[in-house]
Amino acid sequence: MREISHFIDGAAFAGQSGRFGDVFNPNTGEVQARVQLATTGEVDQAVASALRAQQTWALVNPQRRARVMFEFKRLVEANMDELAEILSSEHGKVIADSKGDIQRGLEVIEFACGIPHVLKGEYTEGAGPGIDVYSMRQPLGVCAGITPFNFPAMIPMWMFGIAIATGNTFILKPSEKDPTVPVRLAELMMEAGAPSGVLNVVHGDKAAVDAILDHPDIKAVSFVGSSDIAHYVYSRGTANGKRVQAMGGAKNHGIILPDADLEQATKDIIGAAYGSAGERCMALPVVVPVGKTTADEVRERVLAELETLKVGVSTDAAAQYGPVVSQAHKDKIASYIQMGVDEGAELVVDGRGFSLQGYEKGFFIGPSLFDGVKKGMKTYNEEIFGPVLQIVRAETFEEALDLPSSHQYGNGVAIFTRNGRAAREFAARVQVGMVGINVPIPVPVAYHTFGGWKRSAFGDVNQHGMEGVRFYTKVKTITARWPEGAVEDSAFVIPTMK
């Protein structure tokens, strides 16, 4: 049985807890490895390593840190196929989706390659008589990230890329369900030239999370996961004096106005709702057609698309999506489907009976479709996080606008229309953090920022982009005045960066 260890101080680190978690192959349902689960002791050792490394890493000039990021990017690209295969084997998403997972993380690394520019401070000459005022951004110290199973490459790179580039060191606690890719990323970071201790990986469950939240030498924590845990992480971390950004759940809506390109909108919604088996916080599990005619046509078009949708093993290049991550998660999705039936919604397509020949023990679930879903139903209020699309019919633009605005989650939303005025008004008024206009999954590019509203995000600062730089640095402002006197002549030598 393959054993996945921690990665501390630049090397594999055997934990002493004696506790392990099973890592499954979702395609077959079989245990393929076991991962060590940390105690407070392993977290302490990772922090000690990160503290030692940070004292010198913070003194490395930004251009040299950027060179490490450039080399890390090159190495990840060179190992893309290997990383995608590992990711798919532990998560279940198809290979093309795994490569997208890695690529979106690399885009944040690309942003981090420009860190010498974004770290430049502000300067005012002559703010007073002989007085200049300037500011600088300095690293916080040791930072940590707690990441979910659904993006084991992208979300860690969102966090540690910016944190390390700005001069911090980092402790990553990835999901124990698919932990191998995060370890490989740490190995590649060392190969890229980062000193030992700059990036550490500690596996674990709640014990490791609490150790991170309580450790006095960890200055900032970034989290992505469910809203209940996000709230817990935010509350406990901030109570211990840490900076915390905690991204939670989502229930993203796709509003379809009668003038939309229904053919394109339907294809977009199918990909956004069922891609990666719906295991995305930016998935689009709710479609809101405006008007009965639009709703009836959208329903028929979705049904037609579902007939062509292929579910397969993660290595099947023709498959649109693969299995979900675990049997427990498959059972949870199935329970929500039954809940929807019990609440009175119309189950148009039931994916619970899906089975893939030769992979009967895999964690597969077919696409499901509900119509007649109403505001107030539990299945509408909560995040299902699976291949389930719900149709919520609206009679007017105002009713459609109210649905995402009044929902407990406010992560993302999309509107499909040819009407520029309607799109502009919707974007301005909707109470959601990220908006797509004829874009079904409105994940911002890496030099902008990612973050939702309401119970989708706890904390005041978003992920990556300039918001990420602000999160992982603190501003120091200097007011300087120099005594008057003779200026001595001195030799002038062109400075070089060696």
113 annotated active-site? no
d(CA 474, CA 304) in angstroms, rounded, equals 53
- Measured CA to CA, the distance from residue 415 to residue 266 in angstroms comes to 12
For the chain, how far is it from start to end, CA to CA, in angstroms? 47
- Reported as type and span, the H/E element at residue 186 is helix 180-191
Residues 46, 186, 281, 461: which is the catalytic one?
281
56, 326, 46, 39: which is closest to 183 by C-alpha?
Answer: 46
Distance CA 87, CA 64 (A): 30
Question: Can you tell me the distance from the alpha carbon of 162 to that of 69, in angstroms, rounded to the nearest whole number?
Answer: 10
The partner residues of 25 in beta bridges, in order of sequence, read: 30
Question: CA 69 to CA 205: how far, in whole Å?
Answer: 29
Residue 463 is given by DSSP the state B
| Contact present, 88 and 190 (Cβ < 8 Å) | no
Residue 75 CB neighbour total at 10 angstroms: 16
Q: Are 279 and 248 in contact (CB under 8 A)?
A: no
CB 251 within 8 Å of CB 383: yes
From the CB of residue 354, how many other CB atoms can be counted at a distance below 10 Å? 13
Per DSSP (E only), the strands in 392-452 are: 409-410, 412-416, 434-437
Encoded tokens for 171 = 């402790």
Q: How far apart are CA 352 and CA 330, in angstroms?
A: 9
Helices (H), 215-353: 227-239, 262-274, 292-308, 327-343
Q: In terms of DSSP bridges, do strands 131-139 and 123-128 run parallel, antiparallel, or are they unpaired?
A: antiparallel
By annotation, the residues acting in catalysis are 281
